Structure 1
Amino acid sequence: MADLKDRVCQEIDRHADSLIALAEDIFEHPELGYKETRTAGLVAERFRALGMPFETELALTGVKGMLAGSAPGPTIAVLGELDSLIVADHPAADQATGAVHACGHNAQIATMIGTTTGLAKSGVLSQLAGRVACMAVPAEEYVEVGYRLGLKSEGKIEFLGGKPELLRVGAFDGVDMAMMVHTSSNRDDGRTGVSKSSNGCVVKQVTFLGHAAHAGGAPHRGINALNAATLALQAIHANRETFRDEDMIRVHPIITRGGDVVNAVPAEVWMETFVRGRTMEAITDANRKVDRALRAGALAVGARVRIETLPGYLPLLNDPQLISLYKDNAVSLVGADEVREIGTRGGSTDMGDITHIMPAIHPYAGGATGTGHGNDYHIKDYETAVLLPAKVMAMAVIDLLAEDAQGARALLGEHKPRMSRKEYLESQRGLDKTVEFDGAEA
């Protein structure tokens, strides 16, 4: 297999300038989740140029191409994420939307295209059994919740995250395992790093409802929804000492509407938060405490509160065999000192959902500087951020699908999915609920 790997790596190097230009182009034109039409179009152009069949408009903007080996076998998905996020004070942020690639998804797409190009143009597919599903997926960043709820009410999506929605519409049907690589600005991750897991989350939209009155002339006639929200925030903070360190609970609310005019008692206040944790059991426990705190804020001033809990993302659980395969190939390229093992990450990704249904991994590649999701995040080293992970994933695909896909077949024979697609969808739908509490009547 060494010759096949050399050939695919050489092919990726031959297209290095084009791949880096693609990453830079996407960086200059950031698009938010479920709006990534231009970026999806760039992916479609690359697939078309490679002569591979592909589908578009999956979960609104997703693109899925397919490479086939010379014999039947398992299907491996190689993913890249289309969307940006909002960091309005980033120097490169879109002035109209605040969108910017401050999480490296532009490199992810170029990486996926690099892996695809290397496999397609090197001639190695004739030595492989099975298929490679090359997927550009939408809406990983869980932002613009109100906009996405509007899409949901219009029947255009059901799930607010891209990969859950792709699972729902059947885009992962027939896929046996999946991999992607996320760009990192953490120097401790080396040039590439493999993690054990990352947090899952639920998402909460909260509305406090009071009663407006003149803030100077008759505040006693009002019910201050902002006071209710402020008390709820303090009640959440008062629970933090009850969160166990090993559960890695993260609760980080923001107020997105604090009132309408300064001379009126705020009658309606909006809050949004994630409740993150290492396991769904820990998330459920923390979520119960957050709900209790929200009700307490309403109770204190006699306001009402509407709590909408939305399914977020499941904890990421990287498949150990795939991680070992990725790590071995990375070491062969950059040496053991530049391939780091990482513990559990506090952030969340919808790749976690995929790991509950099939063997999947979400390692990291360096090349970025600054703070992820921060206004100083930039990719400085595209060789590390794009070319290296493209090669490693292509090499892993060869390990899995060469020699009649013995590697993939053995892995699948030992793997036990945590849930089926049907069980997953039922579980996610069970998390979606809205409750109301009237503090004046309690």
Structure 2
Amino acid sequence: MSEHQTNSSVKATYDEHVMPIWKSLNVPIKQATGCTLEDFDGNEYLDLFSGISVTNVGHGNEAVVDAAKDQLDEFVHGCSYVHPNEPVATLAETIADVTPGNLQKSFFCNSGTEAVEGAVKLARKYTGSKEIVALEMGFHGRTLGSLSLTGNNAYKKGMAPTLNDVSHAAAPYGYRCSTCEGDSCDESCADDLEHVIGTHTSGDLAAVVVEPVMGEAGIIVPPEGWLERVQEIAHDHDALLIADEVQTGYGRTGELFASSHFGAEPDILTQAKGIANGLPLGAFTASAEVADAFEAGDHLSTFGGNPVACAAALATIEALQDGIVEETREHGEWLEGELGALEEEFDVVGQTRGIGLMHGIELVEPTETGPHGVAPQPDAELATAVSDHLREESNVVMGVGGYYKNVLRFQPPLIISREQLEHGLSELHRAVETVQEA
């Protein structure tokens, strides 16, 4: 590539040399600071997506960058499973201190997908059982094993997942739940898990895998008591609860881990994304009893526990504990009210929901009934059009997701200011108003 790049030249190189694996938000990034992205043509954008919930303490966080640089000067790689080193040891000890319940020992890897697959291996080794139950519409990764847990065929087409002993229970998607009345489920929705275990498994259940708040499904927040009931059912069948906190962990929901909102203490907790504020790192953490089921050689990762990423993770956790999590909770409460007003004003906004700085805005065609006769028809085209308008006309980046691809995802860096939030909401209001009229 030449020394002087433009947006067009970077995109052209991507088209020629990078596999088309993701529908891009189309902002070539030259530099990023705090909640601001800058492209190669000098345009600045307010980032309300944070690289899919990754840069929780802000792009270019000085303390995180300095920690990584300091470790680079010491050593870059020693393979943490061959040579013990201080960044890994300290991070593992810190995670044991900050995770819910009696989780004590961690395995470090490079991504959320690896964390999920490792957690499933550990659950199988500990229980001696093989079957797994996950949730419909859930997302746990794109490798063949984790893809088997993912409850969405849009990610599976042509991939033939390799785990045949995976079943799926209903998600607590109150807005489109065919068995509950109104816009919310209750804890009895968890009883579908009992039904699935009784009808789709052979009595060899190793684990139930759930996201405490479902991200890719459309920011689905379970009702009070639901996660506790899921854990109770899992334990009744001598299985473990694996909480996939890859997207919800590290302050995103106004608690360091979302499980804490719901009174559940998972047996294994998976982490990635926000753990090191953008450096590649994942982990799964378990109680000592469960963790010690692994024997030497059962699991390994050459780059897992990279000391540079671990140093960055320690700085990230320290920053989060210095008031950011509490501010996220306060911002989330304010945001809930503001988005509720948006829902009241526009018929095309079917439901807004979320917790902390993890909110979804579900867009619909209000005159048409949706799937199974529940709630209005999802409007994926409208969601894409609003996201495009925000980016192209307002210089605001907001992702789109959900099972029906009709949910705008409000997931900014957690260090966002109230002024920036207000600006983002103002532009969102303008975009919805403009696009629906068009």
Question: TM-score range, shorter-chain basis?
Answer: under 0.3
What is the TM-score with the length of structure 2 in the denominator? Answer: 0.26
What is the TM-score with the length of structure 1 in the denominator? Answer: 0.26
Larger Rg belongs to: 1
